[in-house]
């Protein structure tokens, strides 16, 4: 495996008395899926928020290609190749599915300051955006306004928009949550094809998906990484069984 | 699609011809007052449309656009007075009565003012933004009210309308057609802007700033540019109003002018391209009609506004689209 692209060192985030991130070390390499699992409230989304720059950590460092990006804003980090899909879909709700993807494409092409290009002049952007929708469950839903989409469709759109930025790393916060069985299966297939091009940080409660996809797994409980290893190591870890997997026997 | 485009083009051509014909029809009907009314509608339409770009597309609820409207008026007024007095403004700027100079000067002055006001106001958001933009406009209102060299509270009379290509600008119809030409040019640029790549980013920021940040967009600089463009458009409208009224006064800078522009936007349809022009037409005509009819006109106007806003979310444009939809 190649050297890590993203490195998180000794990260701490406190909300009042609660330590939501407790000296977390984490890394992610090109071409791997590193799953982050843990019970509700463990601090998974909080960790992603800090990596993306939406929240500032209290202690520790975040390195991208060896560069300390702790002081960079969220937009700067996005431009450096960090793309995220939100746990609760956060999209442009007044415009269509295709418009949402097109915005991501135009930003990647730095086409954000042109004040007089017509829709016809933006046709290349729309065409490229169509390309990202092709082959997904949203291929024929491009004209639908986002506020008319189902929850599952919005989750899928989150991923398409993130991909349309052609990022180096994808940070996915529970991409399967709220998807139907067949949608989940499609998502698993999509993610397994995506791993070749991107490093993926995958936060997910769906254990089938995690065990299916992950190269490595880290287990987060009360803000601390309590275990880290391959799928087989994590499955066999008694502490993980007790602290996390055991709770989920359904 | 081609057919509906052809229909749209046809409708636009007919609409433009009707607008061009206004002075001729008014003359034939013996109501020359219509010409001034139509001229004012075009001007207020430009101001409201400019506000709409910030407010409707960008989600920047400015309650201070009177500042740019009034500044545009004072650029024309002060340059004219300097020209008439044959003095130099600030000791080095000669005056002028040429529209081809006063309009670019308006763009420069209102652009700088919008950059300064926007740069400070946009550090805040929500209600604070509304209050700060209002505060800046009020500051300018008091500044010009006290500026006795240029009329102070009484305002500034502009003896002659700016000249353009040797046209007879004293003729109301000519002035209307000049205003119409400027409005048409304005409309083409404004419509393009709303659909442009930049416009898409600005409206994306209104819808979801968090999403746009995750895609790499620093909100501040885009909003600032949007605010500047919006201020310039309103300034041009103010410059034209001063030319048409041959007068400018602190009234144009007062908070109720900001409110009036805002009502035009809301009445016509927030975030629609043509809505603000429709809103300007309806508001100005209603004011005129009700004013002649009863002195309680503001009350009745308020009720009309209430009905339109409650009945048709999205303003008059929503009603227009409804009618269009039923027809096809
Ligand atoms: N902005 C905030 N202010 C205060 N507390 C917060 C904030 N964000 C998160 N928390 C708290 O931090 C803890 C971690 O929350 P977080 O959302 O990161 O958990 P999670 O692992 O993503 O959970 P889930 O699986 O439910 O999404 C929770 O106790 C939460 O209540
Ligand atoms: Mg979460």
| Residue of A41, A54, A224 to test ligand 1 pocket, by largest number of atoms within 8 Å of CB | A41
**What token pair was written down for B49?**
């449309």
Contacts of A78 in chain B (CB under 8 A): 213-216
What three-state secondary structure class fits A213?
Answer: helix
pLDDT at residue B328, rounded to an integer: 41
Chain A with chain B: Cβ pairs closer than 8 A: 91
Burial label for A94, CB within 10 Å (0-12, 13-18, 19+), is middle
DSSP code, position A180: -
| Residue of A11, A20, A58 to test ligand 1 pocket, by largest number of atoms within 8 Å of CB | A20
pTM (2 d.p.): 0.89
Contacts of B207 in chain A (CB under 8 A): 92-95
Please determine, for residue A109, whether its predicted confidence score (pLDDT) is greater than 50: yes
* Range with the poorest average pLDDT among A199-213, B47-61, B143-157: B143-157
Alpha helices in chain A (DSSP H): 44-52, 74-79, 97-108, 123-133, 151-164, 181-194, 207-213, 231-236, 238-240
Q: Does ligand 1 lie within 6 Å of residue A221's CB atom?
A: no
* Range with the poorest average pLDDT among A49-53, A191-195, B45-49: A191-195
DSSP code, position A86: -
pLDDT at residue A250, rounded to an integer: 37
Q: Does ligand 1 lie within 6 Å of residue A20's CB atom?
A: yes
Contact check, Cβ <8 Å, A103/B208: no
Q: Does ligand 1 lie within 6 Å of residue A42's CB atom?
A: yes
Contact check, Cβ <8 Å, B214/A103: no
DSSP code, position A2: P
How many whole angstroms separate alpha carbon B249 and alpha carbon B25? Answer: 32
Tens digits of residue pLDDT in A49-107: 999 999 999 999 999 998 999 999 999 999 999 999 999 999 999 999 999 999 999 99
Q: Does ligand 1 lie within 6 Å of residue A44's CB atom?
A: yes
How many whole angstroms separate alpha carbon B230 and alpha carbon B233? Answer: 5
**What token pair was written down for A205?**
């409660």
Tens digits of residue pLDDT in B153-209: 888 888 887 778 877 777 888 889 999 999 999 999 999 999 999 999 999 999 999
């Amino acid at each position: 495996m190649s050297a890590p692209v993203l490195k998180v060192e000794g990260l701490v985030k406190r909300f009042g008395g609660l330590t939501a991130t407790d000296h977390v070390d984490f890394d992610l390499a090109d071409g791997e899926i590193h799953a982050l699992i843990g019970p509700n409230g463990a601090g998974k989304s909080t960790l992603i928020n800090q990596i993306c720059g939406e929240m500032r950590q209290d202690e520790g460092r975040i390195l991208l290609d060896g560069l300390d990006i702790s002081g960079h804003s969220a937009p700067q980090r996005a431009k450096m190749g960090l793309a995220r899909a939100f746990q609760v879909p956060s999209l442009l709700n007044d415009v269509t599915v295709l418009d949402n993807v097109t915005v991501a494409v135009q930003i990647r092409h730095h086409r954000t300051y042109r004040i007089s290009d017509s829709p016809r002049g933006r046709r290349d952007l729309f065409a490229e955006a169509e390309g990202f929708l092709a082959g997904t469950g949203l291929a024929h839903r491009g004209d639908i306004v986002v506020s008319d989409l189902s929850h599952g469709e919005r989750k899928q759109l989150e991923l398409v928009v993130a991909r349309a930025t052609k990022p180096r790393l994808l940070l996915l916060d529970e991409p399967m949550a709220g998807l139907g069985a067949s949608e989940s299966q499609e998502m698993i297939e999509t993610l397994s094809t995506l791993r070749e091009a991107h490093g993926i940080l995958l936060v997910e409660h769906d254990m089938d998906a995690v065990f299916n996809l992950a190269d490595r797994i880290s287990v987060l409980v009360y803000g601390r990484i309590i275990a880290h290893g391959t799928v087989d190591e994590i499955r066999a870890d008694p502490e993980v069984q007790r602290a996390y997997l055991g709770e989920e026997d359904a | 699609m081609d057919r509906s485009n052809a229909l749209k083009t046809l409708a636009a051509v007919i609409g433009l011809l009707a607008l061009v014909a206004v002075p001729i029809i008014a003359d034939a009907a013996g109501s020359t007052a219509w010409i001034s009314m139509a001229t004012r509608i075009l001007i207020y339409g430009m101001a409201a449309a400019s506000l709409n770009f910030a407010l409707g597309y960008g989600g920047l609820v400015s309650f201070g656009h009177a500042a740019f409207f009034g500044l545009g008026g004072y650029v024309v007024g002060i340059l004219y007075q300097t020209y008439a007095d044959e003095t130099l403004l600030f000791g080095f700027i000669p005056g002028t009565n040429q529209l081809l100079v006063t309009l670019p000067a308006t763009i420069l002055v209102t652009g700088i003012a919008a950059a300064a006001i926007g740069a400070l106001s946009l550090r805040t958001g929500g209600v604070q933004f509304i209050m700060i933009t209002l505060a800046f406009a009020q500051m300018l209102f008091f500044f010009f009210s006290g500026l006795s060299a240029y009329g102070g509270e009484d305002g500034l009379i502009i003896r002659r309308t700016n000249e353009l290509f040797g046209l007879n600008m004293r003729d109301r119809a000519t002035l209307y057609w000049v205003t119409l030409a400027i409005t048409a040019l304005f409309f083409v640029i404004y419509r393009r802007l709303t659909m442009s790549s930049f416009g898409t980013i600005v409206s994306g920021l209104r819808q979801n700033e968090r999403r746009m940040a995750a895609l790499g967009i620093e909100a501040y600089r885009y909003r600032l540019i949007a605010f500047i463009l919006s201020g310039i458009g309103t300034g041009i409208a103010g410059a034209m109003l001063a030319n048409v009224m041959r007068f400018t006064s602190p009234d144009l800078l007062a908070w109720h002018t900001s409110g009036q522009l805002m009502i035009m936007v809301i009445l016509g349809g927030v975030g629609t391209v043509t809505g603000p022009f429709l809103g300007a037409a309806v508001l100005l005509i209603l004011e005129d009609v009700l004013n002649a009819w009863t002195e309680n006109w503001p009350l009745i106007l308020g009720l009309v506004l209430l009905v339109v806003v409650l009945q048709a979310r999205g303003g008059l444009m929503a009603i227009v689209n409804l009618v269009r939809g039923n027809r096809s």
